[in-house]
């Protein structure tokens, strides 16, 4: 495998990358570098923004100077993407217009490589659209399926980043809570922070955390489980999962935030993955028109509901 090593560089953030997260900015410029290594660079202070340390989630501004350390990139990092995956994602496009693409991400597929994962959705789409400058606008957990938004050029990325910053993108998910919702609409406005257990990162409701708000709307009842729509008003890691667990009703199939007994229970009932699906995105196009994109509930999740009926 051919490797190419780049030296230290000082890169000025162009106008079309205004508002982009630091980790995504680096990932686009260090193609082939594992995501885990990029995070390590940031954590150790090898990446600097205007001479100071920054976080992966730091939003860059046009004109910022980013110090990028030397890194060995895999020149053929996308060579191992199976043809079946290329075909699957090629047929997953739900919307493509004015530099904005929304795809129907399959469950079990990471959005980017790293931590032993050779490639992710972003690598596949860059290979499928080599003439485009594709960037992730937001992320979905590996286990989560559904609407994932990508920008195909810098203008679209800047426009969508501004909408995210101003909470103007409406993101809604279908989920199954392991418990009864007390009301038809439950608004959870609880800050979220990260912690570590046995060296693994978890998120939790914490008064010292970052603001986070999720609105759960009850759709139907399946035995003791509540089928609901979750609307995000912020974008914290594992937000819906953490807020559902805080309510005392973790998502069905959640191995991380549900108790081991409940996870074992659902596993014995044939539940193989987290019941969480990004079913709707609403955003504004460059011409000012509102765009609504929907993704149907996948068959594997429909089967879970059928089994509870």
CATH classification at residue 89: 3.30.2350.10
Is 174 part of any domain? Answer: yes
Active-site entry in 16, 104, 141, 178: 141
Annotated catalytic, 170? no
pLDDT in tens, 184-219: 999 999 999 998 887 788 999 999 999 999 999 999
- Confirm whether 74 is domain-assigned: no
Q: Is the pLDDT of residue 182 over 70?
A: yes
Provide the Cα torsion 94, 136, 239, 289; round to 10°: -50
Residue 225 has pLDDT above 60, yes or no: yes
Q: Do 267 and 156 touch, CB atoms closer than 8 A?
A: no
List the CATH number of the domain containing 15: 3.10.290.10
* Residues 107 and 14 both lie in one domain: no
Among 27-41, 189-203, 245-259, the range with the most confident prediction by mean pLDDT is: 245-259
pTM, rounded to two decimals: 0.80
Position 70 scores a pLDDT of 84
Number of domains in the chain: 3
Instruction: State the pLDDT confidence band at 4, using cuts at 50, 70 and 90.
Output: very low
CA distance 52 to 49: 5
Residue 76 in any domain: the answer is no
146 and 190 inside one domain? no
Q: Is 21 within 8 Å of 59 (Cβ atoms)?
A: yes
Shared domain check, 141 and 16: no
Q: Within this chain, do residues 176 and 294 fall inside the same structural domain, yes or no? A: yes
Beta carbons of 306 and 176 less than 8 angstroms apart: no
CA-CA distances (angstroms) from residue 144 to 62, 162, 254?
Answer: 32, 25, 11
Domain that holds residue 296: 170-308
Query: Are 149 and 41 contained in the same domain?
Result: no
Same domain, 174 and 261: yes
pLDDT of residue 78: 57
Residue 217 resides in a domain:
yes
Instruction: Give yes or no for residue 77 having a pLDDT over 90.
Output: no
Q: Based on the domain organization, do 266 and 303 belong to the same domain? A: yes
The residues, ordered by sequence, that sit 6+ positions from 200 with a Cβ below 8 Å of its Cβ are none
User: pLDDT at residue 3 above 60?
Assistant: no
Q: Which of 13, 42, 69 is the last residue of a domain?
A: 69
Given 111, 144, 165, the domain boundary residue is 165
Q: How far is CA 256 from the centre of its chain?
A: 17
Distance CA 173, CA 216 (A): 9
């Amino acid at each position: 495998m051919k490797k190419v090593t780049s030296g230290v560089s000082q890169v000025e953030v162009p106008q079309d990358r205004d508002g982009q997260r630091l980790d995504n900015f680096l990932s686009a410029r260090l193609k082939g570098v594992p995501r885990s290594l990029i995070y390590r660079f940031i954590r150790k202070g090898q990446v600097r923004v205007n001479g100071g340390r920054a976080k992966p989630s730091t939003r860059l501004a046009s004109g910022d100077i980013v110090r990028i350390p030397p890194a060995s990139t895999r020149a053929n990092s996308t060579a191992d993407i199976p043809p079946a995956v290329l075909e699957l994602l090629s047929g997953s496009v739900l919307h493509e217009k004015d530099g904005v693409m929304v795809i129907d991400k399959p469950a079990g597929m990471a959005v980017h490589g790293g931590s032993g994962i050779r490639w992710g959705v972003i690598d596949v789409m860059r290979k499928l659209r080599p003439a485009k400058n594709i960037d992730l606008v937001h992320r979905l957990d590996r286990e989560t399926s559904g609407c994932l938004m990508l920008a195909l050029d810098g203008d679209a990325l800047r426009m969508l980043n501004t909408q995210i910053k101003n909470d103007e993108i409406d993101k809604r998910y279908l989920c199954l809570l392991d418990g009864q919702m007390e009301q038809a609409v439950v608004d959870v406005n609880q800050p979220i922070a990260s912690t570590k257990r046995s060296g693994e990162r978890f998120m939790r409701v914490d008064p010292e955390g970052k603001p986070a708000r999720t609105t759960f709307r009850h759709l139907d009842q399946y035995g003791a489980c509540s089928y609901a729509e979750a609307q995000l008003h912020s974008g914290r890691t594992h937000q819906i999962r953490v807020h559902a667990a805080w309510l005392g009703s973790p998502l069905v199939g959640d191995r991380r935030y549900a108790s081991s007994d409940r996870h074992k229970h659902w596993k014995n009932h044939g539940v193989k993955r987290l019941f969480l699906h990004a079913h709707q995105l609403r955003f504004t196009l460059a011409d000012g028109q509102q765009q609504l994109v929907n993704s149907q509930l996948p068959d594997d999740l429909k089967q879970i509901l059928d089994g509870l009926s």
